[in-house]
Chains A and B, each alone.
Chain A
Amino acid sequence: MFDAVARNLPFLIGGFGVTLQLTFCALGGGIALGMLVGLGRISRKAWVYQPVTVYVNLIRNVPLILVIFWFYFVMPIIAGRPLNPFLSAVISFIIFEATYFGEIFRAGYQSISKDLVNAAYSTGLTYSQTARYILIPIAFRRLLPSLITQSIVTFQDTSLAFVIGLQEFVRRTSIVDNLEVRSIQLFSFVAIVFFIFCFIGSKISRHFEEKGRKTGVL
Chain B
Amino acid sequence: MIEINNISKWFGDFRVLTDINEVIDRGKTVVICGPSGSGKSTLLRCVNGLEPYQEGEIIVDGISLSDPQTNLYKLRQKIGMVFQRFELYPHMPVLRNITLAPMKVLKKSRQEAEKKAMALLERVGIPEKAGEYPANLSGGQQQRVAIARSLAMEPDYMMFDEPTSALDPEMINEVLEVMIDLSKEGMTMIVVTHEMGFAREVADEIIFMDEGRIIERGTDEEFFKNPKSKRTKAFLSQILV
B85 x A113 contact (CB < 8 A): yes
Cβ of B76 within 8 Å of any chain A Cβ, yes or no, is yes
* Binary per-residue interface labels of chain A (21-39) against chain B in the complex, 1 for a CB within 8 Å, 0 otherwise: 0000000000000000000
A133 to B92, CA, bound (A): 10
Give, as a whole number of angstroms, the nearest-CB distance from B78 to chain A. Answer: 8
A124 x B146 contact (CB < 8 A): no
Give, as a whole number of angstroms, the nearest-CB distance from B185 to chain A. Answer: 20
A133 x B100 contact (CB < 8 A): yes
A125 x B87 contact (CB < 8 A): no
A119 x B101 contact (CB < 8 A): no
* Binary per-residue interface labels of chain B (71-96) against chain A in the complex, 1 for a CB within 8 Å, 0 otherwise: 00110110111011101111100000
A14 to B101, CA, bound (A): 49
Known: A122-B76, A123-B150. A215 touches B87 (CB 8 A): no
Point out which of A115, A126, A129, A138 has the most chain B C-beta atoms below 10 A from its C-beta: A115
Q: Determine which of B50, B135, B149, B153 lies in contact with A118 in the assembled complex, contact meaning CB atoms within 8 Å.
A: B50
A134 to B48, CA, bound (A): 20
* Binary per-residue interface labels of chain A (84-97) against chain B in the complex, 1 for a CB within 8 Å, 0 otherwise: 00000000000000
Give, as a whole number of angstroms, the nearest-CB distance from B103 to chain A. Answer: 10
A122 to B89, CA, bound (A): 13
A123 to B149, CA, bound (A): 8
A122 x B150 contact (CB < 8 A): yes
A125 x B150 contact (CB < 8 A): no
A118 x B81 contact (CB < 8 A): yes
Q: Determine which of B45, B81, B135 lies in contact with A216 in the assembled complex, contact meaning CB atoms within 8 Å.
A: B135
Cβ of A116 within 8 Å of any chain B Cβ, yes or no, is yes
A48 to B208, CA, bound (A): 41
B73 x A126 contact (CB < 8 A): yes
B90 x A122 contact (CB < 8 A): no
Q: Which residues from chain A contact B81 at a C-beta distance below 8 Å?
A: 118-119, 122
Q: Using CB atoms, name the residue of chain A closest to B85.
A: A115
Give, as a whole number of angstroms, the nearest-CB distance from A112 to chain B. Answer: 10
B85 x A124 contact (CB < 8 A): no
Q: Determine which of B73, B84, B91, B104 lies in contact with A217 in the assembled complex, contact meaning CB atoms within 8 Å.
A: B91
Q: Using CB atoms, name the residue of chain B closest to A122.
A: B81
Count, A-B residue pairs, CB within 8 A: 74
Cβ of A137 within 8 Å of any chain B Cβ, yes or no, is yes
Cβ of B239 within 8 Å of any chain A Cβ, yes or no, is no
A109 to B74, CA, bound (A): 25
Q: Using CB atoms, name the residue of chain A closest to B84.
A: A115
Q: Using CB atoms, name the residue of chain A closest to B74.
A: A124
A88 to B37, CA, bound (A): 56
Cβ of B23 within 8 Å of any chain A Cβ, yes or no, is no
B83 x A118 contact (CB < 8 A): yes
Q: Using CB atoms, name the residue of chain A closest to B136.
A: A216
Cβ of B105 within 8 Å of any chain A Cβ, yes or no, is yes
B76 x A116 contact (CB < 8 A): no
Known: A115-B83, A118-B81, A216-B135. A123 touches B101 (CB 8 A): yes
Give, as a whole number of angstroms, the nearest-CB distance from A143 to chain B. Answer: 12
Give, as a whole number of angstroms, the nearest-CB distance from A148 to chain B. Answer: 18
A14 to B141, CA, bound (A): 57
Give, as a whole number of angstroms, the nearest-CB distance from B216 to chain A. Answer: 28
Q: Which residues from chain B contact A124 at a C-beta distance below 8 Å?
A: 73-74, 76-77, 101, 105-106, 153
A121 to B73, CA, bound (A): 7
Q: Which residues from chain B contact A113 at a C-beta distance below 8 Å?
A: 85, 87
Instruction: List residues of B whose CB falls within 8 A of some A CB.
Output: 45, 48, 50, 73-74, 76-77, 79-81, 83-85, 87-91, 100-101, 104-106, 135, 146, 149-150, 152-153
**CB-defined A-B contacts under 8 Å, sample of 13:** A113-B85, A116-B87, A119-B146, A119-B149, A122-B50, A123-B149, A123-B152, A124-B73, A124-B74, A125-B100, A125-B104, A126-B105, A216-B135
20 other contacts beyond A119-B146, A121-B76, A123-B153, with CB at 8 A cut-off? A113-B87, A115-B87, A116-B87, A118-B45, A118-B81, A119-B81, A119-B88, A121-B73, A122-B48, A123-B100, A123-B101, A123-B150, A124-B73, A124-B101, A124-B153, A126-B105, A133-B100, A138-B90, A215-B135, A216-B90
